[in-house]
């Protein structure tokens, strides 16, 4: 049995190690230079094929997308999670099923939904707002699910103590239950961000993907790191293919740091409680 476990670990680890080696070997030379983050992109030409510039517009674009998505998804997701944890009604059961289904749904569906609602029905067009909306819909079920689990893990004695002291149920939830479950809620938000930051299909359908300047206005065309990778790999210049490896490595490192931060945050808060 031990040999089978080690074999399973090897089967899972070998492809991961191969991918990381490929990323570092082809992308490290790009992410190790400061100009990669500070310069605007430049289109290569036949006579200057290595003229690429940097990814500052895509980097800021991804940051703006995540910030706008968090503004919408975090409060709504936490509210849904608290509602699901404290109510066992039929509407709550239906909402819980919908949330669980959305977690496993392909991300392209969120992009199509954002395209249908924001771009077509509201007539906003391809914009940062549409991309942020799609990412918010993607993040929402994960935040709601982790919030529900975190609130359910809060001892009932805390809630009962608040009610016994005469506090309203809403006050008890806001001032006692949610602070006690804050560790799991923050961890879920960080994991939702780490999932959204690398999503390509959601934003590529609705963001425009042609902005070469830095912008934060919701109604402007935007760009993001995943969509830049998709654009670079379609180029006929090998230098842009190499740059795509650098962006991919940067995204992997960002997701790794966010996941590690979530684990460290959770572990430290658990130690404090003990």
Residue range of the domain that includes 175: 52-273
**Could you tell me the two tokens for 239?**
């230098």
DSSP single-letter state for residue 118: I
Tell me the per-residue pLDDT of 151-172, one tens digit each, with 9 for 90 and over. Answer: 888 887 877 777 787 778 777 8
Contact 140, 73 (CB under 8 A): yes
Residue 186 pLDDT: 87
The answer to whether position 247 is within a domain reads yes
The answer to whether position 132 is within a domain reads yes
The answer to whether position 13 is within a domain reads no
- Distance from C-alpha of 210 to C-alpha of 224, rounded to nearest angstrom: 10
Q: What are phi and psi of 211, to 5 degrees?
A: -75, 125
Reported for 82-86, long-range contacts at CB under 8 A and 24+ positions apart, including other chains, are 82/147, 82/148, 82/151, 82/173, 82/177, 82/178, 84/144, 84/148, 85/147, 85/148, 85/149, 85/151, 85/152, 86/151, 86/169, 86/173, 86/177
Higher pLDDT, 109 or 46: 109
Residue 48 pLDDT: 63
The answer to whether position 30 is within a domain reads no
Tell me the per-residue pLDDT of 48-86, one tens digit each, with 9 for 90 and over. Answer: 666 677 788 888 888 999 999 999 999 999 999 998 988
Give first-to-last CA distance, the chain, whole Å. Answer: 35
The answer to whether position 162 is within a domain reads yes
- Within 10 Å of residue 33's Cβ, how many Cβ atoms? 13
Count of domains forming the chain: 1
């Amino acid at each position: 049995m031990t040999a089978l476990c080690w074999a399973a670990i090897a089967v899972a680890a070998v492809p991961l190690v191969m991918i990381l080696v490929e990323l570092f070997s082809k992308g490290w030379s790009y992410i190790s230079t400061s100009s990669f983050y500070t310069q605007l992109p430049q289109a290569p030409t036949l006579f200057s094929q290595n003229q690429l510039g940097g990814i500052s517009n895509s980097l800021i674009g991804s940051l703006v997308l995540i910030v706008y998505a968090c503004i919408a998804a975090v409060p709504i997701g936490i509210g849904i999670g608290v509602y699901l944890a404290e109510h066992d009604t039929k509407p709550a059961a239906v909402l819980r099923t919908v949330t669980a289904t959305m977690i496993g749904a392909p991300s392209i569906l969120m992009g199509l939904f954002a395209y249908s609602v924001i771009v077509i029905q509201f007539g906003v067009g391809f914009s940062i707002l549409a991309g942020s909306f799609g990412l918010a819909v993607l993040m929402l079920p994960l935040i709601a699910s982790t919030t529900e689990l975190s609130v359910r893990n809060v001892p009932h004695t805390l809630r009962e103590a608040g009610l016994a002291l005469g506090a309203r149920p809403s006050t008890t939830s806001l001032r006692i239950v949610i602070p006690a479950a804050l560790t799991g809620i923050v961890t879920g938000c960080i994991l939702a961000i780490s999932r959204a930051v690398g999503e390509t299909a959601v934003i590529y359908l609705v963001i425009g993907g042609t902005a070469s300047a830095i912008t934060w206005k919701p109604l402007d065309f935007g760009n993001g790191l995943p969509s830049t990778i998709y654009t670079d790999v379609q180029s006929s210049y090998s230098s842009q293919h190499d740059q795509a490896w650098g962006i991919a490595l940067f995204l992997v490192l960002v997701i790794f740091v966010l996941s590690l931060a979530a684990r460290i945050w959770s572990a430290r808060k658990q130690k404090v409680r003990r």
